[in-house]
Structure 1
């Protein structure tokens, strides 16, 4: 059966239920992130996924594949009964709901509630449920100037946005519009629309609220524009896929306050900087030193890395992109390297990924949700260290060498209450479920197993023999025992998680980088574990264990600042 022959099967409730299970099982057995939206709406992607699922040699997964295919066949057969070729009956002008149409609308409503139950507000209206599950259509921004008519009269359309959020393309392409849509719904908005502006990376999300059409402006030209526009007053909220630079912080200090303080810096989710190649490439992993040589132009043929005799073609994000800033700071700058002038540059992550998928000699870097049909590589910090595949768990714990945080920056001197409420909404479980839904990594806590138990010292292996690791690590401000902004938020998340999972008990294990004497590092790691322990005790949670492991079990080389930051951590386990 052609994968294109069942265009609208994602409206079938029974099939969607099986595709949801397919996504879940494939992520377990194939060790890859699978965007549900692509499984539902991209027939070619779904067909490829079904083929991959059969290679897992799992009985439950194999059975599910055949059930999905049988359902697809039955739906396709039912849609070709010949009725569509009969002459249409003449009808009177106006809208008439046939029985089939009514049934279809009911199915859409049930399906919408099923898929969106994790993040829709409890008072969500039917209009948004149906609109959210159907394919989003981007409308021209010129429609913003039009007058909106309703059955009861004419709506007033706002001339200025509730707030303006500018910056990262990684955040602004999908996540920010979805968060704004859900936020406006939580405010009681209806008829919510995402409309395109002058360029593909400019959008406006509008909603009818209290007889008036309000809107939020989203410009996603790259992380550096977040801080430039906050400085110039062109935005109330910045979005970034990297942390604010010291120079940017200082420029904004007098006008907007310190953006590195907890009230201003908000982590809204995490992303793995994915290294992708063409699916025909035989390599499965690379080290960061190898990436440096590839992207600087020192290695120009795949044969030098054990691959086919084929020229390497470089694909990279553009200069304004936070994805580029992250790659540059995590990969190139520690080796004082620059990207080759032969690299093709892209403003869009989606376009870059699709270009790599079509080029057998390609290699590129993007955010984790944009892997699409390209091949994902495991990455190690050095040639001798463990190569780790970016999964939601390894990114959430920040064990993956190229994991990064995604930020909202709300100036300390902000006077926009709508922007403040929106940031608070984004941090809730409902907001974080949206982060997860579009393929990024939320901060909602999950359990999992470490990528390699033998990685840890014997003392810790014995203590965690029957334990599970949680998807958070506590980290600290540079050179101190003070928790960073993400860890402060994670404390409350951990408290809620433990209250819901009583009588399980917390185990805390501190680690340091390898600078300094071994005994001093063990004392420092214990002190940091005790900091977290005391914070939890103050909130009514009493850890079972708080130990310091010193500089053992390094996640990265401590020769770089980024590597040292990764190694300075407190891991959380439960028993």
Structure 2
């Protein structure tokens, strides 16, 4: 009899107290018949029952009990069910592609059945029209609705384009979902980015981030101020109740901007935004890299001459400043085994290739040869001044020359020492790689860089502390790693290799980073 202690204790209390029990959905009885639990069945994951009793929610191993009641599942024909609700950007293309690849990996057949205008059910079955093994119900709502469905018990996973809010986390804890802000309750599924978009007929090709904010907030209203024609700018944005709309607000409304231009045209979908921008030569929109459609991306530049576009590597390393991670949020209770296996699959190399083919940025680490980073070192030389000497640059080349840069990079939230969401995911990914022995026999160097504000000596010290903090976070997360099988060092070069101009918060944030270099 394999009943959890909490369940056994609660059952014994019920029996000993002799309390009357109201009509319940199910009754779980031990195979010996000496312990009985009654309650409302909250869920069954193929292995464990979750039952709401008068003593609270209990989890009971199904192998040790017999279930009686109209709501008892059919153990011989059990089908794993999971509902995902949230951002259509994730649910329309990426999630179906991952489910299809997972079914192929498991040797299962996949069928699709629309259940409403915004919902689709994907059924995974044994080959040859055999027994269904699992059903993935995908609802294309938005990020807000996805969290609302999770809180209401109408979904088990949220497809989100933003982090959970404080109020959602509080309500989630009250609903028994655990702490949704805990790293174990979410994962970064893929990466996207916000990009400034114009039509093919627009002659403007670059824009600085301060200029972009002024356009969006209504301070700059004419293309002539950006080097274009003497004509008004038509601003296009995502609806504020969409995940991308909320990410745009969080990313762009910093540095004193109070709000977006009153006349901004709002769109419910990325496809609608890109189509509208492509048809208007006077339009400027903020859309997603994955839904650019027939539009053109403006490169982000600065007074110091740097220019950056949302290339795959620039997004993966967060060298591009407007990255937008795509999240899956999960409850604290156990999900069915097939669903757990799917979640494990989403982190594998095969799934990362699916993510890339679907038009998003994967998180598979890449090693970049130093020969492919000539522009970075050239910028370091061009930007060198009184605080960065020739000796500093020569030492950097001597140390990094024999190494390769990993695309795994760590950056921090604005005005905080807390790692941003993408970087927290990178900590987990690197820790799992260390636990698997992937980097055994190699040398990993955590290299700290800073922005150019303040004294170079102080910036070096701060960059070193950040590199140490990231290394320690990875070591603490990699609980089962055999760290004696590899070498992990810390180095710093402060402001010696900037990635962007220091004339904006985005530029300074891009420069404050910890990179991983590997031999």
Under a length normalisation based on structure 2, what TM-score does the superposition of the two structures give?
A: 0.70
Give SS of 1:162's match: strand
Q: Which runs of 5+ in 2 are unaligned?
A: 1-76, 381-391
Between the aligned partners of 1:384 and 1:204, the Cα distance in structure 2 is 51
1:198 equivalent in alignment to 2:109: no
User: Among residues 125, 148, 152, which one is paired with 1:208 in the alignment?
Assistant: 125
Cα–Cα, structure 1 residues 532 and 295, in superposed 2: closer, same or farther, change >3 Å?
closer
Between the aligned partners of 1:184 and 1:399, the Cα distance in structure 2 is 35
Give SS of 1:263's match: helix
Cα–Cα, structure 1 residues 439 and 227, in superposed 2: closer, same or farther, change >3 Å?
same
Give SS of 1:526's match: helix
Deviations 1:411-454 (A, max 9, x none): 22344444433222211112211111111111111233445224
Aligned to 1:270: 191
Alignment RMSD = 3.4
Aligned to 1:463: 399
Aligned to 1:571: 515
Deviations 1:311-359 (A, max 9, x none): 3222221222211111111112443332223222222212321222222
Moved more, 239-248 or 457-466: 457-466
Shift of 1:304: 1.7
Give SS of 2:195's match: strand
Aligned to 1:18: none
Cα–Cα, structure 1 residues 395 and 520, in superposed 2: closer, same or farther, change >3 Å?
same
> Larger % of helix: which?
1
Between the aligned partners of 1:248 and 1:186, the Cα distance in structure 2 is 35
Aligned to 2:357: 437
Between the aligned partners of 1:563 and 1:268, the Cα distance in structure 2 is 26
User: Among residues 445, 453, 458, which one is paired with 2:377 in the alignment?
Assistant: 453
Cα–Cα, structure 1 residues 225 and 312, in superposed 2: closer, same or farther, change >3 Å?
same
Aligned to 2:104: 185
Shift of 1:163: 0.5
Aligned to 2:257: 336
Correspondences of 1:332-481 after superposition (within 5 Å): 332-380=253-301, 383-384=303-304, 386-448=306-368, 449-450=372-373, 452-456=376-380, 458=393, 459-475=395-411, 478-479=416-417
Pair member with larger Rg:
2
Q: Which runs of 5+ in 1 are unaligned?
A: 1-157
Give SS of 2:346's match: helix
Between the aligned partners of 2:102 and 2:121, the Cα distance in structure 1 is 14
Correspondences of 1:49-448 after superposition (within 5 Å): 162-190=81-109, 192-199=110-117, 201-209=118-126, 210-212=130-132, 214-254=134-174, 255-380=176-301, 383-384=303-304, 386-448=306-368
Between the aligned partners of 2:437 and 2:512, the Cα distance in structure 1 is 24
Between the aligned partners of 1:337 and 1:294, the Cα distance in structure 2 is 12
Shift of 1:559: 9.4
Between the aligned partners of 1:335 and 1:420, the Cα distance in structure 2 is 44
Give SS of 1:234's match: coil
Between the aligned partners of 1:475 and 1:292, the Cα distance in structure 2 is 22
User: Among residues 393, 415, 425, which one is paired with 1:486 in the alignment?
Assistant: 425
Shift of 1:520: 4.7
Between the aligned partners of 1:345 and 1:530, the Cα distance in structure 2 is 44
Shift of 1:218: 1.3
Q: Is the 8 A contact 2:441 2:487 kept in 1?
A: no
How many residue pairs match? The answer is 414
1:550 equivalent in alignment to 2:494: yes
Shift of 1:543: 4.0
Moved more, 453-462 or 320-329: 453-462
> Larger % of strand: which?
2
Cα–Cα, structure 1 residues 229 and 540, in superposed 2: closer, same or farther, change >3 Å?
farther
Give SS of 1:340's match: coil
Cα–Cα, structure 1 residues 383 and 222, in superposed 2: closer, same or farther, change >3 Å?
farther
Between the aligned partners of 1:270 and 1:206, the Cα distance in structure 2 is 27
